[in-house]
Chains A and B, each alone.
Chain A
């Protein structure tokens, strides 16, 4: 996930004209190229943004040009190239480092799969800029993806202190707390995230699920139902509610819920697995067998390597 704030003020300008986009060669006005690239970024045309910013790095290869090229590459999903560009930006930037560059570099590394290096870069940036909440948020998220729950909780706690009205900081703090088995604090964090951003459905689903895990099934049901009222086909809420039904012995309702989730997301693994179980409970054995085959196919297409970073990330030495 690319957290807010990366693009700065670039997002409000209209797309550039064709003439600017295909501007001829060296000697172009760097300011015009910068504006054009920013417009393409804002318009979501990252391919063109990359082209324009590449020309900018040829015309005026300063930190700003490399930064924007890095951001455009990041948005294009070219994480390794993004990281390289952002490192160039960092090397050309001020001695103390630019927090926006560090933030984007950390994001590129994280999304490129090098979470260890992302933590190192973001940790260094957080040390230099201890009052920068976005950096802390991204660092906390990086710890979180590395299953470093305690570190994630500590860093995200600082992000929340600095930016108490940021729903994402609350949300990820809740996830870190939940990962550590601290469900009551997690409930509070998710509840606050949902209050700050009612349309952040992930926070509301996480809240419902945490309530369910705490045995507060009625509250969990209410939570899921509220999510579905806002977004009737939201698979995580459909599955969560159906799981409650299945645990409560209402296999009919569970079947309906899992089927609704699968209508929105046909290969949803949890829904397939538990739909088969619910059908079996109802004695609909042939249908259960058919769903199990679909589950097998989904499982084979998306093998789950396990959750432990230490184990799953180990690999044969080259």
Chain B
């Protein structure tokens, strides 16, 4: 019998994980919607009029920052605005919600000086918050379909916009951004992922193959554009330059970690339909006088493609030590009929697509995934995976009857190195939404990680992790650097007593158009204390701390150890 010419497009669809049976799952936690009671009313505006400008489908973003430094993480939701043809007059712009510490939030956008009048509104994407000027409070960088905007935190609950974003800007369509100390000079620089060379003026209509339905264009219809890096000059000014080697990328997600444990960060960029990047940085003046050189190494390291040697539609990305071998593994969220791809870190700068053995593939095939986080939601010491899903085509059901525009979020529980979907734990996260940005935080300081979701053309959501703290104990670490950057971004933290050793990092970037809470989280399981804590600061300082009690967020100042703490335990009381 002649062999069958199986379409190449399907060979990958042999997926990994058997469909989980709800009846067989044990729910140690459950995500519960608290949006309404929290008083969050943000609604993303895509600005669409039916013309299907590509920019409409990319937002929305969400950032976690404690802008008023009261110990309670606040939320900043990033919005679009009207586009040509959109006759909807109301445009609310970005919104800042202050966490009151009692489960409720207050809209402080105007009071904080972040409210734009109708004429000042621009089409925003995501961004990042960090202490650019090392003055003790987080500043705000908002990425745009166009020039960025930078807001200096005045330290009194208000922000002031920096003209021209103080140089931290480019005219390209920027999506995600990561703040980290690239050049090792003690302040936060920015890697800005740029997407397409697309402008409304060059928009073209695209149609789907089914009934000639108008559809958003494939990214291949537009060239990619180089990413940017904004070097912090240390005097509230930045110098913008293209990231060498990123010219052909179509970046949507970016995450930074120190892969080789050499104290120098490495940057991963999830590109949409083009190979992903892995930049190894080299410090010292380069030939162009820049303080740092970028060396793109995605193909050689094994993270540019999936195991079949195919580029995927990278959206979100994150690092995490999934198998607790002391090395950071990598996840990239992708399009439907692609898996969310998990790369195992083999050491020596090499990765291997291990999606199947990690157990993620099958469950992710029919979802189009964006925001994500590798974090320990059930406090058992193993990082789990959460993914926010939603299609890019509002008419996808007319094109492929088994797909939907709004899709459920997914929670993959880490069972000692293998990820298994736990539907029972998903709770309200399983409700369909057009998911995009996802950020994690312990907003109620009850000792487990909750979710903030920014959804395309829909309401934002706040999902409380109900039961995570009861399932296991935890500690949070809030790092205060100096001479390292004040946020301690890039610090590597090890719980040496844990078996296997637990390693985390004060990460930069991650997810999609989002930023997680600054607190570094460790699940301890049944342990009442962390055991000795080792910290390698970005400055190179190695610091050892005695065992820390569970149930607290410990503030640790570089070289001084614990300088403060805040209760974070189920049933706990405010500090």
Contact = CB atoms under 8 A, between A and B. Distances in A.
B3 A200 contact: yes
Contacts of B302: 277, 280
A29 interface: no
A312 B209 CA distance: 9
A150 B16 contact: no
A201 B2 CA distance: 9
Contacts of A199: 1
Contact of B399 (A178, A213, A289, A309): A309
Interface string B340-375: 000000100010101011000111011010000000
Contact of B14 (A206, A272, A277): A206
Given A178-B15, A214-B18, A306-B273, A148 B401 contact: yes
B207 A315 contact: yes
Contacts of A272: 309
Contacts of B16: 181, 183, 213-214
Specify which of A182, A295, A315 lies most central, judged by the most chain B CB atoms within 10 Å of its CB: A315
Contacts of A168: 4
A310 B9 contact: no
Nearest to A150: B402
Interface residues of B, number: 68
B313 interface: yes
Interface string B1-22: 1011111111011111111000
B1 A197 contact: yes
Contacts of B357: 215, 247
A9 interface: no
B541 to A, nearest CB: 33
Given A149-B402, A186-B14, A247-B357, A181 B365 contact: yes
Given A210-B14, A309-B209, A314-B216, A274 B4 contact: no
Given A247-B357, A305-B220, A317-B204, A213 B14 contact: yes
A33 B221 CA distance: 50
Contacts of A299: 309
Interface in B541-560: none
A288 interface: yes
A146 B400 CA distance: 8
A179 B214 CA distance: 27
Nearest to A214: B18
A202 B221 CA distance: 35
A18 interface: no
Interface string B457-471: 000000000000000
B241 interface: no
Nearest to A190: B14
A202 to B, nearest CB: 5
Given A148-B400, A175-B6, A213 B209 contact: no
B14 A269 contact: no
Given A116-B210, A175-B13, A269 B337 contact: no
Nearest to A311: B218
A277 B337 contact: no
B247 interface: no
Contact of B335 (A212, A247, A270, A308): A308
Nearest to A288: B300
B238 to A, nearest CB: 35
Contacts of A210: 14
A270 B299 CA distance: 13
B309 A310 contact: no
List 4 tightest A-B contacts by C-beta distance, closest first.
Answer: A181-B362, A273-B309, A179-B13, A313-B209
Given A179-B15, A308-B368, 14 more contacts: A146-B400, A151-B401, A181-B15, A181-B16, A182-B362, A184-B18, A197-B1, A206-B6, A213-B16, A269-B310, A273-B309, A281-B346, A309-B209, A311-B313
Interface of A: 1, 115-116, 144-151, 168, 171, 175, 178-184, 186, 197, 199-202, 206, 209-210, 212-215, 243, 246-247, 269-270, 272-274, 276-277, 280-281, 288-289, 292, 295-296, 299, 304-317
18 contacts: A1-B5, A147-B400, A148-B400, A148-B402, A151-B402, A178-B13, A181-B16, A213-B14, A215-B357, A247-B357, A274-B309, A281-B346, A307-B335, A310-B336, A313-B208, A315-B206, A316-B205, A317-B207
